[in-house]
């Protein structure tokens, strides 16, 4: 199966499963958190590179900017979570914030962007996007929060409608994107 909508929804279900593991099996947190992190980052990068530009250009969907901002917030929370003791109350608090942010993003995507893709793009186009999404996701699997390349940061800026990204240094661009995520 290569339908991009189905692939994205499969990732969403896997993320929900991983959150449940993190909450119900605290002894597995050191093993589960890196898996969740890697999946969320790979999923986000693939959406940013392959899905959001199509949603914007071919569907005229203006949810992309908001979705991109949500990705930035999720990545910031992941960075904080990864440096927090898994046995602390702080970890539980951050995990809850992360889960809430991801669930909000998933709900918006599954009620707006994905149904529009299913309705407005034919099966051939959704399969093409699915193949591109899967390839991009595979390339990014294993990456951790905060490791985005300058090109990926430029794509995020483009998805946000942020001008002048090409001329910015990587650290300056990352800082500007993080500001957008904190709004």
Q: What ranges in the chain are assigned the alpha helix state H? A: 4-24, 29-46, 52-57, 64-82, 89-108, 114-120, 123-140, 150-160, 170-181
Query: What does the pLDDT look like over 45-72, one tens digit per residue?
Result: 999 999 888 888 877 777 777 888 898 8
pLDDT at 101: 96
Residue 44 lies inside a defined structural domain of this protein? yes
As a whole number of angstroms, the distance between CA 58 and CA 1 comes to: 22
Interaxial angle between packed helices 89-108 and 4-24, expressed in degrees from 0 to 180 and rounded to the nearest 10: 160
Residue 129 lies inside a defined structural domain of this protein? yes
Q: How much is the average pLDDT of 78-103?
A: 95
pLDDT band for 164, please (50, 70, 90 cuts): confident
Residue 183 lies inside a defined structural domain of this protein? no
State how far Cα 8 lies from the chain centre: 10
pLDDT at 80: 94
Residue 68 lies inside a defined structural domain of this protein? yes
Domain housing 19: 4-147
pLDDT at 1: 62
Residue 24 lies inside a defined structural domain of this protein? yes
Q: Is residue 83 pLDDT above 80, yes or no?
A: yes
pLDDT, the chain, mean? 89
* Contact predicate 84/94, CB 8 Å: yes
Residue 162 lies inside a defined structural domain of this protein? no
pLDDT at 59: 77
CA distances in angstroms from 167 to 65, 70, 171, 172, 176, listed in the order given:
21, 24, 12, 10, 13
Number of domains in the chain: 1
Residue 163 lies inside a defined structural domain of this protein? no
pLDDT above 70: percentage of residues in the chain: 96
- The residue written with tokens 């119900």 in the block is 24
pLDDT at 112: 86
Query: What does the pLDDT look like over 167-183, one tens digit per residue?
Result: 888 888 888 887 776 65
Residue 131 lies inside a defined structural domain of this protein? yes
pLDDT at 152: 84
Q: What is the DSSP letter of 26?
A: G
The pTM of this model reads 0.83
pLDDT at 183: 55
pLDDT band for 144, please (50, 70, 90 cuts): low
């Amino acid at each position: 199966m290569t339908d991009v909508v189905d692939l994205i929804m499969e990732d969403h279900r896997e993320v929900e499963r991983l959150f449940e593991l993190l909450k119900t099996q605290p002894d597995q947190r050191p093993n589960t958190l890196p898996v969740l992190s890697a999946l969320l980052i790979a999923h986000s990068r693939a959406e940013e590179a392959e899905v959001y530009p199509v949603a914007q250009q071919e569907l005229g969907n203006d949810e992309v900017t908001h979705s991109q901002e949500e990705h930035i917030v999720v990545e910031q929370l992941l960075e904080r979570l990864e440096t927090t003791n898994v046995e602390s109350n702080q970890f539980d608090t951050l995990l809850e914030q992360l889960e809430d942010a991801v669930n909000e993003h998933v709900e918006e995507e599954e009620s707006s962007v994905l149904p529009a893709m299913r309705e407005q793009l034919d099966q051939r186009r959704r399969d093409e996007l699915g193949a591109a999404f899967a390839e991009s996701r595979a390339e990014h699997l294993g990456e951790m929060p905060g490791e985005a390349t300058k090109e990926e940061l430029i794509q995020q800026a483009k998805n946000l409608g942020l001008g002048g990204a090409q001329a910015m240094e990587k650290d300056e661009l990352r800082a500007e994107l993080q500001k957008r995520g904190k709004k």
